[in-house]
Structure 1
Amino acid sequence: MAYKNLRHFIDTLEQAGELVRIKTYVDPKLEIAEITDRVSKSPDGGKALLFENTGTDFPVLINSMGSYKRMCLALGVSELDDVAGEIENLFKLLSKPKESILDKLALLPKLGQFASWMPKVVSGKGSCQEVVMANPDLSKLPVLTCWPKDGGPFITLPVIHTKDPLTGTRNVGMYRMQVFEKDMTGMHWHKHKVSAKHFMEYKKLNKRMPVAVVLGGDPVYTYSATAPLPENVDEYMLAGFLRKKKVELVKCITQPEIEVPADADFVIEGYVEPSEELIWEGPFGDHTGYYSLADWYPKFHVTAITHRKDAVYPSTIVGIPPQEDAWIGKATERIFLAPIKMTLVPEIINMEMPVEGVFHNLVIAQIKKDYAGQAQKVMNAMWGAGQMMFNKILVVTDDGTKITDYKQLAQYVFQHLNPASDIYLSQGPMDVLDHSCSKMGFGGKMCIDGTRKYEEEQDTTFISVPAPRQLDTAAIMQQFPEIKGINASLLPLDISCILVAVEKARPSHVRELNEQLYTLPALAGVKMILFVEHTVDVSDLASALWRFCNNLDPKRDSFIVRVPSGEPGKYIGGIGMDGTLKTRLLDNFERDWPNIIVADDATIRKVDTKWPELGIGPLLTSPSLKYKQQIYGEEAVVQQ
């Protein structure tokens, strides 16, 4: 369905029992984020929150897409897979041989639908331009400061419009914007992004780059800006397809080269001067759950701010998962399964991106396997596909298991895994927010082939032995005092993997410890050992895996072992992976290492005190309390 504006979506959320209005004053600096963090981590993502008293003329809507149900409401569907099914049907219809005139005529109505989804520029002004700020001033907007170590307030849901200066092709993307002055922000576009390519073209031409930033309107606009579309596909065509109604665009007032949705809540118009010096932007508490480090980015100069008379400021926070962005990622996972299947990986059955893997870090692909080496074929195809090039750990399995049941999936993968021959390590482009890479934007990748193996794929120099069902963890920790915790709870579940919390004290410590552990008869048959920092609570499996995935560079930090089996020429395979934080002293790691994102004590106390006035329900304790003790040991290494 097409929402008339953001207020229409708010009304829909309220009618569905998915919205809480908060009338008490809440400070956009840290307080709104802390309240939202508590709510978004409650069961099923809590509720959408409308903060009506922000100290400005505008309310703040947040967590509006922070659950499966609200994500479906935003896209106007009952199930996210409905969109994938519709896309798949379109692909089939368009690719079907047209053998007769009747076949061709049957396609005409669908072509008419395509035309009805294409964006259209209309004359005159839109409702997004009902009010024009005489002197544009970003301080008039309730821009959030989310976390205590953020570089400042950030616009977190900006739908950013740019055009290629040579072709006029529009791009609509989402890149955070740090507010530095009342009329100037940073423009955090990464080198891999289309807007950054447009910027480079303007730089070659020595020409000022017009930019427009939209906030609000139909929530489909926000989603479409995050979608991993090919460069030549207009994001507003996707929006038109999703809302079943074309997006009407109007020309900006001070940047008329750029068109924006007429029904948006806010439009921030301006420009980037390619010849101007860059600005030091950040740090920023990011979706990885860590602060992304400060770096140099272009300046965005504001020339006008326009808005609806009843404008609502939409925002989001990102941090330790789960957060609202996990559900936006879930929509992408479901919606883009069909295009991947139809154009790149025809054998794919399903795809899953676990929340703990924070998007690119961990992807599970299920395929229909028909021949040896097919998992590697899928690996190469997926790592070469758009934003999937940023994937760090890819797990490929077949139709013998259910990938949404993580216990069953893990049992199946480990049953069919020889860690010495079925794990493939590579290197390639990585998300610049991945702090584990030795070089920014370039690092290791891993594919775990958890499919059933054909004879050609089996390495007969390795034999499989049953993993232990339990371990005497106290004895192991007594033998290795640097080990501060062991989680062996997966072994009785037939998942041959343990987690080890280790306090590193010397270079190559984890590699050497891994080799020593694999010599223990008690660990014979354990296929995988995951090492994390000694401050991590390994009994909290989800949290430990989140920390592990973030801190691992698979190629640099993986140690395959060949343990003699006692049978001549035969070995038992195993692998250890170092998911600890890295330092210059112990790991020869030259980059800064960021901190985990947590709220400060003062904000936690303020929100605790204010909670009874909010009308949200019983007090929810701060999620930050869980991690505060864990990070104290890491604070000192941030600038090592």
Structure 2
Amino acid sequence: MVAPGNSTPGTVAPRFPAYAPAMAFPDIQSFMRLLEDRGELLRVSVPVSHDLEITEIADRLVKKGGPALLFENVRGSDFPVAIGLMGTRERTALALGVDDLDDLAAKVRALIDLKGGGGKLGLLGNVTKLRDAMNLPPRRVRTGPVQEVVWRGDEVDLSRLPILKCWPLDGGPFVTLPLVITRDPETGERNMGMYRMQVMGKNTTGMHWQRHKTGTRHLEKAKRLGQRLEVAVAIGGDPALIYAATAPLPPIPGLDEFALAGYLRGQRYPVTKGITVDLDVPANAEFILEGYVDPAEDWVTEGPFGDHTGFYTLPDLYPLFHVTAVTMRRSPVYPATIVGRPPMEDAYLIEASERLFLPAAQLILPEIVDYHMPPAGVAHNLVFVGIQKGYPGQAYKVANGLFGLGQMMFAKVIVVVDENVPVNDFDAVWREVAVRAVPGRDTLTTRGPTDVLDHSSRGWGYGGKLIIDATTKKPEETGGAESSRDLQLDDPAHEEMFRPYASAELPNFEGVVAQRQTDDGYWLVALHKTRPGQAHELAQAFAAHPAAEGIRHLLICDEHTDVQNIQDVWWTVLNNVDPERDVVQFGALLAWDGARKLPEEGFVRPWPPKIEMDAAVADRVDALWPVYGLPERWR
């Protein structure tokens, strides 16, 4: 370890060490070397700004499946920025040491006998076996590369780090890929989570601990005990550990994020003791921010922030994190990510969690064949589930079971389909819904916890939910008769039933700026809403119009939605509905009111804007694209 002030990190991005996942824990730089060798990482050597410019460049590449980027020359900082390292399904699999993300499920399934007997005792034995296999405590080392350089006291200055301001309305720069480490003040149990951190000053940040998060529980216990809560924030490390910090781990004693990373790598994770905090930190990280949160302090206003929902999360109060020391490598790289309108890099981390925890879900709900959380649903708004159905009502049993599983409690809409339907085929699932789910008969609304970032729910963290049963129906589910709407997708009557009207034949209505009907029973409408009740009146009028014949779902969006892009439509609708309030049946039609809600309609919270990049920034990036040296196809 180098004494404070005796070493200055290099200003040139390093030529990375080799990547050897089978021999030792890789770090970010060795993973970057692997990506660069494979043509999956490009360097940008010209000066760039960490205020919006990096976001605009990186956003274009991730949405087009382009490579990761290393910005070697960031204005105002000595440190390069790496972004998009897990920005494709293939790179995420590579980061986690598997050939394909589906291999994660196979890895867990090898530990548990899903078809084993033994009743309840057999099930408990499987869980115990899983727990023991994943209970790999970290390995303590005396020091590590992350403590080669130390800043203390007045040396601590977060403005020297290239922390990104991602979107125009953001309240400031945010650390977007932090691994936040705390310890339960009573039990000593360790937690690592990924919570965004807004820079408030040279040595302070916000700490976005939402009410359901483990960090919040640790802080509440520290308050009861009348003590500060020590915090360490790692930036960088093994990509598997970065993933683990995002994973919804089940509450199994001894299973934490270090253990999950250890399981993925097959060896114990190297940690070292912090310099100013009594916490274990990843020895191979790039930076560590050490400090504390004082529960006796008033909370500070954090935000707005362009969030993973694709909307801004509006300002709110959160705890203040005081940074007492910063440690780092001699030549560190600052890894970052951006969140916003899908698809984004976080979609692949979500998919990794899907694959990893599928066997665990099947232990509890064995009829589940597969499930998927599409990017348009930004994780918690939409879940597709394929089941092996054997009896009436089974779709509702599975959906309600999922609502009770960990972070699946935040799910807003669950669609259940037959086992032969590929749940990762977005269009195929919605075709099944149109054919097999009769509004009212095969839809059910309920209530429960929602993500606190859900701006449309009836209350903060509480709102409506919707179950859609798009499985093949048993006689008991149709009143004993075959329903005329339960058609095979290749039935000739299918095309006739869903024949769309031409746009010129569709009705006009106040505020409608664009509309179209699809050939599988959906009517997409962009509405410029100017008064209360306007969307409800539109739904009534359209449901009574001859053009509604054969239509199953009327999707009403705001005027900024592209009705030619079904992903954009569903993303908007799912963000903007509370199903209990906004999904209403009109005869054979289910109307989804995805327009913004007004105070006059009883919605008292401010309605957030969609994330859009500043036009001047986008134009500047367009003009500089050849200067960056990036291929034209990703412009």
- TM-score when scaled to structure 1? 0.88
2:83 is the alignment partner of 1:83: no
Name the CA distance, whole Å, in 1 between partners of 2:338 and 2:370. 29
Task: Give the 3-state SS of the residue equivalent to 2:532 in structure 1.
Answer: coil
Cross-structure match for 1:523: 548
Conservation of the 8 A alpha-carbon contact between 1:503 and 1:533: yes
2:494 is the alignment partner of 1:476: no
Cross-structure match for 2:14: none
Cross-structure match for 2:621: 607
State the 1:468 CA deviation.
4.2
State the 1:408 CA deviation.
3.0
State the 1:76 CA deviation.
1.0
Task: For 1:236, give the aligned amino acid.
Answer: F
Task: For 1:477, give the aligned amino acid.
Answer: P
Conservation of the 8 A alpha-carbon contact between 1:611 and 1:619: no
Name the CA distance, whole Å, in 2 between partners of 1:262 and 1:248. 6
Name the CA distance, whole Å, in 2 between partners of 1:468 and 1:427. 32
State the 1:620 CA deviation.
4.6
Task: Give the 3-state SS of the residue equivalent to 1:456 in structure 2.
Answer: helix
Task: Give the 3-state SS of the residue equivalent to 2:205 in structure 1.
Answer: strand
Conservation of the 8 A alpha-carbon contact between 1:151 and 1:283: yes
Change (3 A) 1:199 1:114: closer
State the 1:220 CA deviation.
0.8
Conservation of the 8 A alpha-carbon contact between 2:458 and 2:464: no
Task: Give the 3-state SS of the residue equivalent to 1:555 in structure 2.
Answer: helix
Conservation of the 8 A alpha-carbon contact between 1:350 and 1:366: yes
Name the CA distance, whole Å, in 2 between partners of 1:389 and 1:114. 24
Conservation of the 8 A alpha-carbon contact between 1:3 and 1:9: no
Change (3 A) 1:437 1:82: same
Q: Return the match for 2:150 from 106, 110, 132.
A: 132
State the 1:405 CA deviation.
2.8
Name the CA distance, whole Å, in 2 between partners of 1:221 and 1:319. 23
Q: Return the match for 1:120 from 128, 132, 139.
A: 139
**1:161-172 aligned within 5 A:** 161-172=181-192
Task: Give the 3-state SS of the residue equivalent to 2:39 in structure 1.
Answer: coil
Name the CA distance, whole Å, in 1 between partners of 2:551 and 2:396. 24
State the 1:576 CA deviation.
0.8
Change (3 A) 1:407 1:601: closer
State the 1:82 CA deviation.
1.0
Q: Return the match for 1:448 from 468, 493, 498.
A: 468
**1:304-343 aligned within 5 A:** 304-342=325-363
State the 1:504 CA deviation.
3.2
Which stretch of structure 1 is more off in the superposition, 137-146 or 293-302?
137-146
Cross-structure match for 1:73: 94
State the 1:34 CA deviation.
1.0
Mark the runs of 5 or more structure 1 residues left unpaired by the alignment: 99-103, 563-572, 622-640
Task: For 2:324, give the aligned amino acid.
Answer: T
Cross-structure match for 1:62: 83
Change (3 A) 1:346 1:65: same
Task: For 2:526, give the aligned amino acid.
Answer: A
Change (3 A) 1:28 1:559: same
Name the CA distance, whole Å, in 2 between partners of 1:155 and 1:381. 35
Cross-structure match for 1:556: 581
Change (3 A) 1:58 1:505: closer
Name the CA distance, whole Å, in 1 between partners of 2:349 and 2:266. 19
Change (3 A) 1:62 1:228: same
Change (3 A) 1:440 1:383: same
1:504-559 Cα distance to aligned partner (Å, 9 max, x none): 34432322322222222342232211111234221222212211111111111011
Cross-structure match for 1:404: 424
Q: Return the match for 2:228 from 208, 227, 240.
A: 208
**1:220-259 aligned within 5 A:** 220-231=240-251, 232=253, 233-256=255-278, 258-259=279-280
Name the CA distance, whole Å, in 2 between partners of 1:26 and 1:311. 18
Change (3 A) 1:583 1:382: same
Conservation of the 8 A alpha-carbon contact between 1:139 and 1:182: yes
Cross-structure match for 2:58: 36
Name the CA distance, whole Å, in 1 between partners of 2:473 and 2:564. 33
Change (3 A) 1:94 1:248: farther
Q: For the aligned residues, what is the CA RMSD?
A: 2.4
State the 1:131 CA deviation.
0.8
Task: For 1:471, give the aligned amino acid.
Answer: Y
State the 1:368 CA deviation.
0.6
Task: For 2:500, give the aligned amino acid.
Answer: Q
Task: For 2:139, give the aligned amino acid.
Answer: K
- TM-score when scaled to structure 2? 0.89
Conservation of the 8 A alpha-carbon contact between 2:177 and 2:337: yes
Change (3 A) 1:380 1:580: same
Cross-structure match for 2:611: 597
Name the CA distance, whole Å, in 2 between partners of 1:96 and 1:125. 47
State the 1:437 CA deviation.
1.4
2:507 is the alignment partner of 1:486: no
**1:324-363 aligned within 5 A:** 324-342=345-363, 344-363=364-383
Cross-structure match for 2:594: 579
State the 1:319 CA deviation.
0.9
Cross-structure match for 1:13: 35
Q: Return the match for 2:457 from 431, 437, 449.
A: 437
State the 1:223 CA deviation.
0.2
Name the CA distance, whole Å, in 1 between partners of 2:115 and 2:483. 50
Cross-structure match for 2:12: none
Name the CA distance, whole Å, in 1 between partners of 2:185 and 2:571. 41
Change (3 A) 1:485 1:300: same
Which stretch of structure 1 is more off in the superposition, 364-373 or 459-468?
459-468
Name the CA distance, whole Å, in 1 between partners of 2:481 and 2:608. 42
**1:500-539 aligned within 5 A:** 500-539=525-564
Cross-structure match for 1:567: none
Conservation of the 8 A alpha-carbon contact between 2:111 and 2:133: no
Name the CA distance, whole Å, in 1 between partners of 2:341 and 2:296. 37
Task: For 2:344, give the aligned amino acid.
Answer: Q
State the 1:433 CA deviation.
0.9
**1:371-410 aligned within 5 A:** 371-410=391-430
Task: Give the 3-state SS of the residue equivalent to 1:359 in structure 2.
Answer: coil
Name the CA distance, whole Å, in 1 between partners of 2:44 and 2:529. 47
Change (3 A) 1:181 1:476: same
Q: Return the match for 1:194 from 201, 214, 226.
A: 214
2:308 is the alignment partner of 1:293: no
Mark the runs of 5 or more structure 2 residues left unpaired by the alignment: 1-20, 120-124, 486-495
Cross-structure match for 1:176: 196
Conservation of the 8 A alpha-carbon contact between 1:119 and 1:236: yes
Name the CA distance, whole Å, in 2 between partners of 1:481 and 1:181. 49
Conservation of the 8 A alpha-carbon contact between 2:273 and 2:280: yes
Name the CA distance, whole Å, in 2 between partners of 1:605 and 1:408. 37
Task: For 2:550, give the aligned amino acid.
Answer: G
1:152-209 Cα distance to aligned partner (Å, 9 max, x none): 0000000000111110000010000000111000000100011111111111111100
Task: Give the 3-state SS of the residue equivalent to 2:506 in structure 1.
Answer: helix
Task: Give the 3-state SS of the residue equivalent to 1:198 in structure 2.
Answer: helix
Conservation of the 8 A alpha-carbon contact between 1:420 and 1:561: no
Conservation of the 8 A alpha-carbon contact between 1:438 and 1:590: no
- Identity, % of aligned pairs? 44
Conservation of the 8 A alpha-carbon contact between 2:516 and 2:523: yes
Change (3 A) 1:96 1:159: farther
Cross-structure match for 1:368: 388
Change (3 A) 1:202 1:427: same
Cross-structure match for 1:565: none
1:232-261 Cα distance to aligned partner (Å, 9 max, x none): 4211111001111210111111112x1111
Conservation of the 8 A alpha-carbon contact between 1:477 and 1:485: no
State the 1:409 CA deviation.
2.6
